């Protein structure tokens, strides 16, 4: 086994070549206790499906709706409302409203708008590409929500600062930045909500109208989940785009095929999502004793659900009640960006490593040698 073989599912996320390690995990038992990590691992399609579908496997530990370091802060107030972080009633109705509103988005229009935005300017350097991976998806979402173009750069920067509060790797300065960014985001959304009547057809309008219809009245909850749409877009879509750029670099023949047949871009992205996904794991906590095929997981345990060990089962967007409602939108945005950038990227010498993360695989590019 090579010396730098991944040692656990967290170091695998940013490893140069982790997929042999994931295959071995998938060949083992679907559910096992890992004594060195002091938690359970759910692996392979069977383990991942079983845990994500189980009603007693919750997204937060019992009695800890908000992590200790965020309790009583602006980030904590948002965190407490996110559909991603809730179960039961606080999840089901808001999730239905968000999924319905996201389902109304005109994907052809989104693709055309993003294609246009992604062309000016084209990424002309590794640093420009690193920024564009995050900015373009966030600009496209801000546009969908109904924000004016002059607001997009600040919204994108605040969203990147906000998501730092969701990572256990963030330091004190990043957490402080996340709090300031949260207040700025809430303020911008509050102003936009007051203008809501002026924005028929926007995603913001559809979410608010859907919330009213469904009897979801907690305005703080709606606001928090609007911020959540930006934060959920941020890392995951940057990772999909970045990993697609890596695939084009490693397999140059793909670029030739795709420029001859651009209708193949969506299929190419689906393959990237299967073979080099952006979200490698997620976590669940047992709300009671749970039995899976004879294996008993006691109440109060953490299960790391290793999505990347089940990639061939197309689990990159999750499964069950928390499945991602943004898949089509992410693909429309990523297809447009790559179509716009492909020519410029071919001329750009690139090397890459990965941003530090325990769950998201996002390349960070630097000037490299032309292969
Ligand atoms: C390539 C891009 C994306 C990937 C790989 C991705 C992946 C995921 C995954 C794996 C989950 C489930 C997490 C879990 O069960 O623990 C999830 C949830 C979610 N995603 Fe995405 N996502 C992407 C883009 C987006 C976009 C663009 C949006 C918004 C338009 C979005 C909105 C959400 C929301 C709101 C949830 C929470 C759903 C719930 O808890 O019920 N995602 N995403």
Query: How far, in Å, from the CA of 289 to the mean position of ligand 1?
Result: 27
Distance from C-alpha of 197 to C-alpha of 180, rounded to nearest angstrom:
28
Query: How far, in Å, from the CA of 323 to the mean position of ligand 1?
Result: 7
Is pLDDT of 198 > 70?
no
Mean pLDDT of 49-68: 97
Point out the ligand 1 atom lying closest to the alpha carbon of residue 284.
Answer: 16
Query: Tens of pLDDT along 247-273?
Result: 999 999 999 999 899 999 999 999 999
Residue with the smallest CA separation from ligand 1 atom 4 is: 236
Residue with the smallest CA separation from ligand 1 atom 41 is: 322
- Largest distance between two CA atoms of the chain: 61
Mean pLDDT of 291-308: 96
Distance from C-alpha of 321 to C-alpha of 97, rounded to nearest angstrom:
14
Kindly give the interhelix angle for 203-214 and 89-103, rounded to the nearest 10 degrees: 140
CATH 1.10.630.10-classified regions of the chain: 73-279+325-344
Backbone angles phi and psi of 11, in degrees to 5: -75, -25
Calculate the average pLDDT of the chain: 94
Secondary structure of the chain as H, E, C letters? CCCCCCCCHHHHCCCCCCHHHHHHHHHCCCEEEECCCCEEEECHHHHHHHHHHCCCEECCCCCCCCCHHHCCCHHHHHHCCCHHHCCCHHHHHHHHHHHHHHHCCCHHHHHHHHHHHHCCCCCCCHHHHHHHHHHHHHHHHHHHHCCCHHHHHHHHHHHHHHHHHHCCCCCHHHHHHHHHHHHHHHHHHHHHHHCHHHCCCCHHHHHHHHHHHHCCCCHHHHHHHHHHHHHHHHHHHHHHHHHHHHHHHHCCHHHHHHHHCHHHHHHHHHHHHHHCCCECCEEEEECCCEEECCEEECCCCEEEECHHHHHHHCCCCCCHHHCCCCHHHHHHHHHHHHHHHHHHHHCCCEEEEECCCCCECCEEEEECCCC
Query: Tens of pLDDT along 313-360?
Result: 789 999 999 999 999 999 999 999 999 999 999 889 999 999 999 999
Residue 339, pLDDT score: 95
Distance from C-alpha of 279 to C-alpha of 9, rounded to nearest angstrom:
12
Q: 150: exposed, middle or buried (C-beta count within 10 Å: 0-12, 13-18, 19+)?
A: exposed
57-58/295-297 β-pairing: unpaired
**Taking Cα atoms as reference points, which of 318, 247, 246, 312 lies closest to residue 281?**
318
Residues of the chain with pLDDT > 90, as a percent, come to: 89
169 or 153, greater pLDDT? 153
Q: Topology of 73-279+325-344 in CATH?
A: Cytochrome p450 (1.10.630)
Q: What is the pTM of this model?
A: 0.96
Residue 282, pLDDT score: 98
Point out the ligand 1 atom lying closest to the alpha carbon of residue 102.
Answer: 30
Is pLDDT of 121 > 70?
yes
Residue 4, pLDDT score: 81
Q: Which residues line ligand 1 (CB under 6 A)?
A: 59, 83-84, 95, 98, 102, 228-229, 232-233, 236-237, 240, 278-279, 282, 316-318, 322, 324-326, 329-330
Cα torsion for 142, 144, 145, 149, to the nearest 10°?
40
290-292/363-367 β-pairing: unpaired
Kindly give the interhelix angle for 203-214 and 219-250, rounded to the nearest 10 degrees: 130
Residue with the smallest CA separation from ligand 1 atom 19 is: 324
CA angle, 338 then 330 then 245, to 5°? 30
Are 155 and 147 in contact by the 8 Å Cβ rule? The answer is yes
The structure tokens listed for 15 are: 């490893």
Distance from C-alpha of 252 to C-alpha of 266, rounded to nearest angstrom:
17
Query: Tens of pLDDT along 214-223?
Result: 999 888 899 9
Query: How far lies 365's CA from each of 133, 150, 158, 236, in Å?
Result: 10, 27, 22, 17
């Amino acid at each position: 086994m090579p010396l730098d073989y991944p040692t656990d599912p967290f170091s695998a996320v940013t490893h140069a070549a982790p997929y042999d390690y994931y295959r071995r995990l998938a060949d083992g038992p679907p559910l096992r206790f890992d004594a060195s990590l002091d938690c359970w691992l759910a692996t392979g399609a069977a383990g991942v499906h079983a845990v994500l579908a189980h009603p007693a496997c919750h997204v937060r530990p019992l009695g800890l709706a908000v992590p200790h370091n965020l309790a009583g802060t602006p980030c904590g107030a948002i965190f407490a409302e996110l559909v991603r972080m809730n179960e039961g009633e606080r999840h089901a109705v808001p999730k239905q409203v968000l999924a319905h509103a996201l389902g109304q988005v005109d994907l052809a229009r989104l693709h055309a708008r993003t294609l246009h935005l992604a062309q000016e300017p084209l990424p002309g350097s590794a640093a420009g590409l690193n920024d564009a991976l995050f900015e373009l998806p966030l600009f496209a979402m801000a546009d969908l929500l109904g924000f004016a173009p002059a607001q997009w750069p600040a919204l994108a920067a605040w969203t990147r600062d906000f998501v730092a509060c969701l990572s256990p790797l963030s330091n004190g300065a990043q957490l402080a930045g996340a709090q300031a960014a949260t207040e700025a985001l809430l303020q911008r959304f509050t102003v936009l909500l007051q203008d809501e009547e002026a924005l028929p057809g926007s995603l913001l309008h559809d979410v608010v109208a859907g919330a009213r219809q469904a009897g979801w009245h907690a305005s703080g909850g709606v606001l928090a989940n609007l911020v959540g749409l930006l934060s959920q877009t941020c890392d995951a879509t940057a990772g999909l785009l970045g990993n697609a750029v890596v695939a084009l670099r490693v397999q140059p023949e793909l670029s030739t095929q795709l420029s001859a047949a651009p209708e193949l871009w969506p299929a190419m992205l689906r393959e990237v999502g299967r073979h080099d996904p952006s979200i490698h794991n997620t976590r669940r906590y047992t709300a009671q004793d749970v039995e899976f095929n004879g294996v008993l997981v006691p109440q109060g345990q953490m299960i790391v659900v290793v999505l990347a060990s089940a990639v061939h089962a197309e689990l990159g967007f999750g499964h069950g009640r928390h499945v991602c409602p943004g898949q089509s939108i992410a693909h429309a945005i990523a297809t447009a960006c790559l179509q716009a950038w492909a020519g410029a990227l071919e001329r750009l010498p690139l090397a890459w490593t990965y941003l530090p993360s325990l769950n998201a695989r996002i390349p960070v590019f630097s000037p490299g040698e032309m292969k």
